[in-house]
Amino acid sequence: MNTVPDTLATPTAPDVPDVPDVPDVLTLGETMVALRGSGPLKLGGTMAVSVAGAESNVAIGLSRLGHAVRWAGAVGDDEAGELVLRTLRAEGVDVAAATRDASAPTGLLLFEPRLPDVTRVHYYRAGSAGSRLTPAAADAAFAAGPPRVLHLTGITPALGPSAAEACRRALHLAREHGTQVCLDVNFRSRLWSSDEAAKELRGWLPYVDVLIASDDELPLCLPSRPSSSGTEPEKSLLAEGIRELVVKLGARGATVHTADDTLHSPARQVHAVDAVGAGDAFVAGYLSALLDGADVTTRLDRAIITGAFAVTSRGDWEGAPTRSELGLLSAGPGTVVR
């Protein structure tokens, strides 16, 4: 804390204890080094180096929109891990709660474009530092100042028992501190089965305020007990205590269900270059407007806009807009901003 030297004549304010910075959002998960090929991997060629991870994508998106964000994750004590931390710091994300694991490497993923609209992704994350995330990471992240919102995805618990336990610990801490919880289901069939995902995520529902999922992911969250005949899955989830259910529909836009209303917004028409990361940008936009205290209509609109920005650029997070850029999507073709 800065204080005025005693030698100055101006009166000084009484000393007060330092208060940790309170982030708007805490994200918890694995970020990997991402290599993007120019064609089939078996033919060699050049690769662009970046980083990627659903939770850190959301963190960067929120930081660009002016929010204070903390990322808690683990990287290897290697150059790849330094790239992850350096990139997040450069994007204004607080990584003070991140840890370096000297006995495990930073995860890796390779993007392989095979058709104009088809990209294969190859993961090398088994035994990675991120998969060994521990509950202590959640404790450290909350000890540095409890966030207003905790954002989790269904990817992190699929990485291994320790990472799953870290998520459960974060949920309990969120409950203790009155922190809102946002869960993006983000099901990855190459990480775990639908039965495994359902068993884990259904146990999270009592802690979740905002649930975000694609329409085909909703069954993973439905109560295990049979619902009454004809009951819509959205109504079943709201009855479980979910405050807002946000359903991503891809090119068809998105819908928000609450106890009082159902709102739909179509997708914005843009020239799509790369759909990877669009869902994370969508989440960042929705949470940004929620943090601003905006109504549900505005939240959905901002999410649609940020998602549209994401698909117009290559990369997981590179196309995420700043707050001052949100209005650019309404500009006509050929517009030059001078």
The structural domain count of the chain equals 1
Candidates 280, 292, 301, 316; catalytic one: 280
Range with the poorest average pLDDT among 38-42, 192-196, 302-306: 38-42
Question: How many angstroms from the chain centroid is the CA of residue 173?
Answer: 18
Q: List helix spans (H) across 65-160.
A: 79-90, 135-143
Q: Residue 311 has what pLDDT?
A: 83
- Total number of residues shown for the chain: 338
- Whether 10 is in a domain gets the answer no
- Whether 12 is in a domain gets the answer no
Q: Which of 287, 330, 281, 286 is nearest to 309 (CA)?
A: 281
- Whether 301 is in a domain gets the answer yes
What is the mean predicted confidence (pLDDT) over 85-105?
Answer: 96
Please check the confidence at residue 304 and state whether its pLDDT lies above 70: yes
With 0-12 CB in 10 A as exposed, 13-18 as middle and 19+ as buried, what is 292? middle
User: DSSP string covering 73-136, please?
Assistant: -EEESSHHHHHHHHHHHHTT-B-TT-EEETTSPPPEEEEEEEETTEEEEEEE-TT-TGGG--HH
Please check the confidence at residue 117 and state whether its pLDDT lies above 80: no
Q: Is 314 in a helix, a strand, or coil?
A: coil
Residues 73/137, Cβ–Cβ less than 8 Å? yes
Q: Residue 231 has what pLDDT?
A: 65
Please check the confidence at residue 228 and state whether its pLDDT lies above 60: no
The model's pTM: 0.89
- Whether 278 is in a domain gets the answer yes
- Whether 260 is in a domain gets the answer yes
Share of the chain above pLDDT 90, in %: 69
Amino acid present at 322: T
What is the mean predicted confidence (pLDDT) over 159-182?
Answer: 97
Q: Residue 202 has what pLDDT?
A: 95
- Whether 304 is in a domain gets the answer yes
Q: Residue 187 has what pLDDT?
A: 96
Q: Is 38 in a helix, a strand, or coil?
A: coil
Q: Residue 299 has what pLDDT?
A: 96
Helices 161-177, 135-143: crossing angle, 10 deg rounding: 30
CA distance 16 to 19: 9
Taking CA 157 as the corner, what is the angle to CA 60 and CA 245, rounded to the nearest 5 degrees? Answer: 65
Q: Residue 83 has what pLDDT?
A: 97
- Whether 110 is in a domain gets the answer no
- Whether 327 is in a domain gets the answer no
Q: Considering only residues 4 and 188, tell me which one the structure prediction assigns the higher pLDDT.
A: 188
Domain span including residue 99: 25-30+54-105+131-319
Q: Is 24 an active-site residue?
A: no
Please check the confidence at residue 120 and state whether its pLDDT lies above 90: no
Q: What is the CATH number of the domain that holds 256?
A: 3.40.1190.20
Please check the confidence at residue 8 and state whether its pLDDT lies above 50: no
Q: Residue 332 has what pLDDT?
A: 65
Q: Residue 297 has what pLDDT?
A: 95
Please check the confidence at residue 9 and state whether its pLDDT lies above 50: no
Please check the confidence at residue 2 and state whether its pLDDT lies above 80: no
Q: Residue 138 has what pLDDT?
A: 96
Q: What is the pLDDT of residues 232-283, one digit of tens each?
A: 888 889 988 899 999 999 889 999 999 999 999 998 888 777 778 889 999 9
Residues 132/99, Cβ–Cβ less than 8 Å? no
Q: Residue 1 has what pLDDT?
A: 43
Q: Residue 276 has what pLDDT?
A: 80
Please check the confidence at residue 229 and state whether its pLDDT lies above 70: no
Q: What is the residue whose two structure tokens read 């920005």?
A: 309
Q: Residue 233 has what pLDDT?
A: 84
- Confidence at 51, pLDDT banded by 50, 70, 90: very high
Please check the confidence at residue 330 and state whether its pLDDT lies above 90: no
CA distance 166 to 150: 13
Range with the poorest average pLDDT among 16-20, 54-58, 74-78: 16-20
Q: Is 129 in a helix, a strand, or coil?
A: coil
Q: What is the average pLDDT value for the chain, to the nearest integer?
A: 88
